[in-house]
Amino acid sequence: MSMKAETNLQTQPQAIRVRNLLIDPPLLLAPMAGLTHSALRRIMVEFGGVGLLSTEMLSARRLPTENPRISPYLIRTERERPLSYQLLISTHEEVCRAIDALHALKADAVDLNMGCPSLSVGKFGAGAMLAERPDEVRRIVAEARKRTALPLSAKIRLGSGADSGKLKTFCSVLEAEGVDMLTVHARFRDEPFARNPRWSYISEIKECIKIPVIANGGVFSAADAEKCMRVSGADGLMLGRGAAIRPWLFAEIARSVFGADIAETTVSLPDVYAAFIEALNSDYRQVYRLGRLKEFTHYFAKNYKFGHSLASAVQSSGSMEEARERAEKFFANNKADNLSAAGC
């Protein structure tokens, strides 16, 4: 390990222990619908630096009936570890069966979605709307805590923005009912992703609870990661879109911010894209492939100056083969001159 890495080890928080799970480095993958499935997770694992992987949000009601061998939400390889499963839940009655299903799937951790602002989720009282039903939140967390000894986390936003006291009370309730770790997406409930994240608000939450707090939102580079850690005072970071654009971002941040001993590698974008296609083609049913390729391409294309033409060429493809051919043609004519991807 280099001198630089030793300095980082002294100044930066390192691994997080949550029950019997060691999150090392303290860098977590964000749950992202349509993106954080096995094909993308495998690529991230190959680059290294991920302390805890995640599924996308999984409907607690439907989970017990999903077939893990063919469900695109549940397909998983041995190397995708440790893996947290995120539950989208609206009542405490859904908890037991969902957690039993996660035990059968050998989940390494369970996360409760309490931050999704989408209206389609909110109309069932789930996601961010749960904060409006504090009694139900208590019952959900208490039920989950009774049912599992796995690390239990919750992911929230900063609330409506009107009342920081209400947000702090909410966080304390989560801790008191047995949540082991809290991830905070540093935006108010109704703020779009284009809005600058409010990392400093996380430091206020840190002051009122003792469990580890993970900062999320707007980290696209090692410089962002360093600043977010400093401003938020968080115990770790969760990366979303930045890691979908650049699946090697974990390795970069782990190395330069957390001093992890990960060798630098040259990234070949066409190879990354080909590996993603290969994973989809080999393990996903045909009906699930093209949509996921289009979703990933929307982010991955941001590595290129003219990435919009890659994204639209793939978007308008009618088959995996057509999408692959169009992407290969694009790669042959375009160099990635924007490897330090900024916002999206």
Ligand X SMILES: Cc1cc2nc3c(=O)[nH]c(=O)nc-3n(C[C@H](O)[C@H](O)[C@H](O)COP(=O)(O)O)c2cc1C
Q: Is 205 in the site for ligand X (CB under 6 A)?
A: no
Cα–Cα dist 255/24, whole Å: 12
**Contact pick of 40, 87, 112, 116 for ligand X (by CB under 6 A):** 116
Q: Is 57 in the site for ligand X (CB under 6 A)?
A: yes
Cα–Cα dist 26/80, whole Å: 16
Q: Is 297 in the site for ligand X (CB under 6 A)?
A: no
**Contact pick of 185, 255, 289, 326 for ligand X (by CB under 6 A):** 185
Closest approach, Cβ 3 to ligand X, in A, equals 30
Q: Which stretch binds ligand X (CB under 6 A): 77-85, 98-106, 108-116, 201-209?
A: 108-116
Q: Of 49, 109, 45, whose CA–CA distance to 83 is shortest?
A: 109
Cα–Cα dist 143/96, whole Å: 7
Q: Which stretch binds ligand X (CB under 6 A): 213-221, 269-277, 282-290, 302-310?
A: 213-221
Q: Is 41 in the site for ligand X (CB under 6 A)?
A: no
**Contact pick of 59, 113, 256, 317 for ligand X (by CB under 6 A):** 113
Q: Which stretch binds ligand X (CB under 6 A): 14-22, 92-100, 111-119, 202-210?
A: 111-119
Q: Give Cα separations from 281 to 143, 275, 277, 285 (angstroms).
A: 39, 10, 6, 8
Place of tokens 């900063």: 158
8 Å CB contact between 234 and 209: no
Closest approach, Cβ 297 to ligand X, in A, equals 13
Using a 10 angstrom Cβ sphere, with 0-12 exposed, 13-18 middle and 19 or more buried, the burial of residue 342 is exposed
**Contact pick of 16, 30, 167, 311 for ligand X (by CB under 6 A):** 30
Q: Is 56 in the site for ligand X (CB under 6 A)?
A: yes
Place of tokens 């909410």: 170
Cα–Cα dist 272/111, whole Å: 28
Name which of residues 142 to 161 contact ligand X (CB under 6 A).
155
Footprint on this chain of ligand X (rule: CB under 6 A): 30-35, 56-57, 86, 113, 115-116, 155, 185, 216-219, 239-242
